[in-house]
Structure 1
Amino acid sequence: MAGPLAPTWTPETTSDERSELDRPWVTIVWNDPVNLMTYVTFVLQELFGYDEATATALMLQVHHDGKAVVSSGPRERMEHDTSRLHAYGLWASYQRDT
């Protein structure tokens, strides 16, 4: 014979917590004093499949604004994208989208 059932408790999440969990992660490329603009454009095309115009626009954003978001999605994929950018010698990081 089974014993009495224990009450179940499910923690409630607030709308602020849900919106924090729903926010995607982004990969950011940072401006650096080492890599040529043409090289950054090449890497963005190579790694993310951007056409030349899109890759150039992102590179110019990095050059003028100091950074650009180059991909977004789940944390694991952003970690992977950041690692791949590092392998090409670019300065990159990932964070929750703001």
Structure 2
Amino acid sequence: LKSQDKDKAKYYFTRAIDHDPHRPKSILQLAKLEIESGNFTDARIRLMRFNQMYGVKKPSLQLMIELERAAGNEALEQKYVKQLERMS
């Protein structure tokens, strides 16, 4: 995706979530875009809220692993890897 396309995607996912906050796929897709653009704090908050609303799911754990790897938080990354392995 081009930068403009990612910005548009963020905008539309944000609007969709604002309209209906119970859109799990949109929440996860927006978190992924936030990770890719380096907005780690926003992504972390979004994923934690997701886990509170829906419970910890494989897709959210995979994104949390990606997030912590990108942020350089090796301890948290390993914690989430182990948690994901227990779910498999």
Output the TM-score relative to the length of structure 1.
0.26
Larger strand percent? 1
- TM-score normalised by structure 2 residue count: 0.29
Greater helix content: 2
